[in-house]
């Protein structure tokens, strides 16, 4: 009996030891999970019991100088599914696929995943998500989630696209100012945290944690949308009139403070749809590889004003003239101290004047600039000497970055003074043998316009918070004074003669004195040679408030490739609109044009009887395909507000009868005002007159099909224009 008792006690003892060891192990395990891995386990539990949603901030807006919105974030919504909560996965996938126009199999696969949340579609307009909500309610659908998001919108469409850039699907800036100012525009994301059950469904009575997003900062630009519109409209017309071309680009600046008023490249793109088929690729897009498509997109997105370099050509003669005057090599700009014999022999190379076949002969510096005579400027540059000449180029930052706050700006290339030869400085004097960007060239020209003072180009002037409070002002920056005011005035005076009497006469603007310079710059050599037709203008000439440079790259149309013929008329159009818009007073009135001007009234929503009476009283003719005076006018061509000559035609389109009729634009180049007006009238077209003499340029060009009643803009110039 005692023996059995002892055995029992031993068993109990071992059992107690076992339990003690088990308790110690359990205690150690608890310490391990609670202390050693406690933080990790709490996070896992938290993630299992909660659902985090990122709340996108509102990306900062971009405004033009007048407060017009150029880029903004608009409210959209995202749709996701919680697979565990979906009862009928096939029905849910089918409904979403039909409403959202998405692939059924792809959505079905997402509904079958073992995850808490699967994104179905992002950045949906609320008009679409409302259809989803109605379907969910009608069909008692569970497990589909809709929550608020934002996307980038550009209300002005393609306007300023190369400057603004665009954003990706995640609202991250990919090009232009959107990329350059990404850190300021993007804001800080918020977060919403809600409790969930084991299936991932939200629990209604749990505490919800909400961290609000911080909206991005807003940019206020120096760009004026109206001037930008003028630049883009006429630039597009230049591309059309001189097709085929590689591209055309334009910059407009206030030379007094460096503010960029407009910057445009044609063809452009719509930043709302940056991955649409680029202009010019429509016919071959479906046969292109992914790499070729990517290259095409990159090409159309490039802001070539700052990313492409070129040899500026004869525009640069203004710089050589400025250096020669500043160094005292020319005392009287009207003294006939120069002779053109058709070219100069330098280092065994005959460098010709563009009019080598009929040399300019004896001339003054003013006449040399008016005639764009190469030998005069070659001789002046060599007299200045390479060290001094290139010291001025360095002071003007020729071939350097301007420092404008746009991505992708590049520097050009120029010889170091140690490597400069006689032929190098000779060709540099008329803008060949080195490269720079178009913005760099305008910055240099603006220095001449601004009393010799160089200003840093500026495109963003203010940064504001979401409350509209200014948090940073980006002030104009003076770089340095390069030329004296007397030199500046003398060169402006000569440049005005270029436009009034020389190769730039197509750049004249009625009522204003314009200073300018033409350029037909060679790009490449031999079989690879192309031309860039360029024109730079400063207006008004005696006190420039606007500086413009326009390049048409590799024009191959019927108008040739000279800057005076291709680029100057376009700049004239842009300047006329811009100066009038800025309320710059005219220097003189044009008394030669005796045609009576009338403003087209708005007759839409009127009866035919009322409309015809209004047009007759205004001195205009009309055309309406009806005899019913009670019919309502729904549209008119030209539109209200257009200023035309008396007895111009207004085409009326009626309610229930809006059939359009086209006509072909006749060629009026070379005609006087009376003949041009009569010719257009015979084709049921109207004329808008600028200047005097004979027609040197028309838009739209001859052969274009347009609506009857459309306006043809005709530039009249005196005959006998040379083009360099």
What is the predicted pLDDT for the residue at 580? 94
Which residues does the annotation mark as catalytic?
Answer: 314
**How sure is the predictor about 721, in pLDDT bands with cuts at 50, 70 and 90?**
very low
Phi first, then psi, for residue 547 (nearest 5°) are -120, 130
> Is 98 within 8 Å of 81 (Cβ atoms)?
no
**How sure is the predictor about 219, in pLDDT bands with cuts at 50, 70 and 90?**
very high
Give the pair of three-digit tokens for residue 715: 């530039």
What is the predicted pLDDT for the residue at 591? 43
**Strands across the sheet containing 247-254:** 259-266, 247-254, 546-553, 530-539, 515-523
Alpha carbon of 46 to those of 37, 51, 128, 524: distances in Å?
14, 9, 34, 66
Mean pLDDT score across all residues of the chain:
87
Distance CA 174, CA 274 (A): 10
Whether the predicted pLDDT of 51 surpasses 70? no
Structural domains present in the chain: 52-220 (3.90.1310.10), 309-581 (3.40.710.10), 597-717 (3.30.10.20)
- What tens digit of pLDDT does each residue of 400-457 get? 999 999 999 999 999 999 999 999 999 999 999 999 999 999 999 999 999 999 999 9
> Is 217 within 8 Å of 463 (Cβ atoms)?
yes
What is the predicted pLDDT for the residue at 723? 46
Give the residue among 568, 504, 526 at the shortest CA–CA distance from 369: 504
- Residue 245 or residue 626, greater confidence: 245
What is the predicted pLDDT for the residue at 718? 59
Whether the predicted pLDDT of 40 surpasses 70? no
DSSP conformational letter for 661: -
What is the predicted pLDDT for the residue at 594? 55
- Residue 358 or residue 25, greater confidence: 358
Q: Which residues are registered as beta bridge partners of 71?
A: 62
Phi first, then psi, for residue 223 (nearest 5°) are -65, 135
Whether the predicted pLDDT of 470 surpasses 80? yes
Angle formed at CA 382 by CA 381 and CA 384, multiple of 5 degrees: 65
What is the predicted pLDDT for the residue at 440? 98
H or E stretch at 62: strand 62-63
- What tens digit of pLDDT does each residue of 156-205 get? 999 999 999 999 988 899 999 999 999 999 988 777 665 555 555 555 54
Distance CA 424, CA 401 (A): 22
What is the predicted pLDDT for the residue at 170? 82
- What tens digit of pLDDT does each residue of 363-410 get? 999 999 999 999 999 999 999 999 999 999 999 999 999 999 999 999
Per-residue HEC secondary structure of 141-160 comes to CCCEEEEEEEEEECCCCCCC
Beta-carbon count within 10 A of 138 CB: 9
Specify the range with the lowest mean pLDDT, choosing from 328-342, 343-357, 687-701: 687-701
Q: Which residues are registered as beta bridge partners of 455?
A: 478
- What tens digit of pLDDT does each residue of 55-71 get? 667 899 999 999 999 99
What is the predicted pLDDT for the residue at 208? 58
What is the average pLDDT across 591-599?
65
390 CB-side CA count, 13 A? 19
């Amino acid at each position: 009996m005692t023996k059995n008792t002892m055995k029992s006690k031993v068993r109990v003892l071992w059992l107690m030891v076992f339990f003690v060891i088990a308790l110690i192990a359990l205690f150690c395990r608890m310490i391990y999970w609670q202390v050693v891995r406690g933080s990790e386990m709490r996070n896992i539990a938290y993630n299992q019991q909660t659902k985090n949603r990122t709340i996108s901030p509102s990306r900062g807006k971009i405004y033009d100088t007048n407060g017009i919105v150029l880029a903004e974030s608009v409210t959209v919504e995202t749709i996701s599914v919680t697979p565990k909560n979906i009862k009928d996965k096939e029905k849910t996938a089918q409904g979403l696929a039909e409403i959202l126009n998405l692939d059924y199999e792809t959505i079905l696969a997402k509904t079958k995943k073992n995850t808490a949340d699967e994104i179905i579609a992002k950045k949906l307009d609320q008009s679409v998500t409302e259809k989803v909500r109605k379907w969910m309610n009608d069909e008692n659908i569970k497990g589909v989630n809709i929550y608020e998001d934002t996307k980038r919108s550009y209300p002005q469409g393609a306007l300023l696209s190369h400057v603004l850039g665009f954003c990706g699907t995640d609202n991250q800036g990919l090009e232009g100012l959107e990329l350059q100012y990404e850190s300021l525009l993007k804001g800080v994301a918020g977060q919403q945290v809600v409790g969930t059950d084991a299936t991932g469904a939200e629990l209604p009575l749990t505490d919800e944690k909400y961290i609000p997003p911080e909206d991005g900062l807003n940019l206020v630009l120096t760009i004026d949308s109206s001037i930008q519109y003028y630049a883009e409209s006429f630039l597009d017309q230049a591309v059309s009139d001189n097709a085929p071309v590689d591209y055309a680009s334009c910059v407009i600046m206030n030379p007094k403070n460096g503010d960029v008023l407009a910057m445009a490249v044609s063809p452009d793109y719509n930043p709302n749809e940056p991955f649409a088929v680029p202009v010019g690729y429509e016919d071959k897009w479906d046969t292109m590889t992914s790499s070729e498509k990517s290259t095409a997109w990159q090409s159309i997105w490039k802001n070539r004003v700052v990313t492409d370099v070129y040899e500026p050509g004869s525009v640069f003669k203004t710089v050589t003239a400025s250096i020669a005057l500043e160094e005292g090599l020319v005392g009287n700009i009207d003294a006939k101290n120069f002779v053109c014999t058709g070219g100069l022999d330098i280092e065994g190379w005959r460098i010709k004047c563009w009019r080598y076949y009929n040399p300019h002969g004896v001339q003054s510096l003013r006449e040399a600039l008016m005639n764009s005579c190469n030998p005069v400027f070659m001789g002046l540059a060599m007299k200045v000497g390479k060290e001094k000449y290139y010291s001025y180029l360095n002071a003007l930052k020729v071939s350097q970055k301007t420092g404008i706050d746009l991505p992708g700006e590049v520097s050009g290339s120029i010889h170091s003074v140690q490597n400069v030869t006689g032929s190098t400085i000779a060709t540099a004097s008329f803008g060949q043998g080195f490269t720079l960007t178009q913005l760099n060239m305008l910055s240099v020209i603006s220095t001449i316009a601004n009393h010799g003072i160089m200003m840093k180009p500026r495109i963003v002037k203010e940064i504001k918070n979401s409350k509209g409070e200014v948090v940073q002002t980006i002030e104009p920056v003076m770089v340095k004074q390069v030329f004296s005011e007397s030199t500046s005035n003398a060169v402006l005076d000569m440049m005005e003669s270029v436009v009034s009497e020389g190769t730039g006469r197509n750049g004249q603007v009625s009522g204003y004195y314009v200073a300018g310079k033409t350029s037909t710059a060679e790009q490449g050599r031999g079989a690879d040679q192309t031309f860039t037709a360029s024109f730079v203008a400063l207006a008004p000439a005696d006190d420039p408030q606007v500086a413009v440079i326009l390049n048409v790259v590799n024009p191959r149309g019927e108008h040739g490739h000279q800057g005076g013929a291709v680029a100057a008329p376009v700049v004239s159009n842009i300047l006329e609109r811009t100066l009038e818009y800025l309320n710059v007073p005219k220097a003189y009135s044009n008394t030669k044009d005796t045609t009576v001007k009338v403003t087209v009234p708005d007759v839409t929503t009127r009866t035919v009887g009322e409309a015809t009476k209004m047009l007759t009283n205004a001195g205009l003719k009309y055309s309406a395909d009806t005899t019913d005076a009670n019919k309502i006018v729904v549209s008119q061509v030209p539109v209200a507000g257009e200023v035309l000559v008396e007895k111009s035609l207004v085409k009326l389109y009626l309610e229930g009868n809006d059939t359009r009729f086209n006509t072909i634009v006749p060629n009026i180049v070379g005609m006087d005002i009376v003949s041009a007006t009569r010719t257009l009238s015979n084709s049921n077209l109207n004329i808008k007159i600028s200047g005097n003499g004979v027609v040197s340029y028309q838009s739209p060009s001859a052969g274009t099909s347009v609506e009857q009643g459309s306006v043809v803009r005709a530039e009249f110039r005196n005959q006998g224009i040379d083009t360099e």
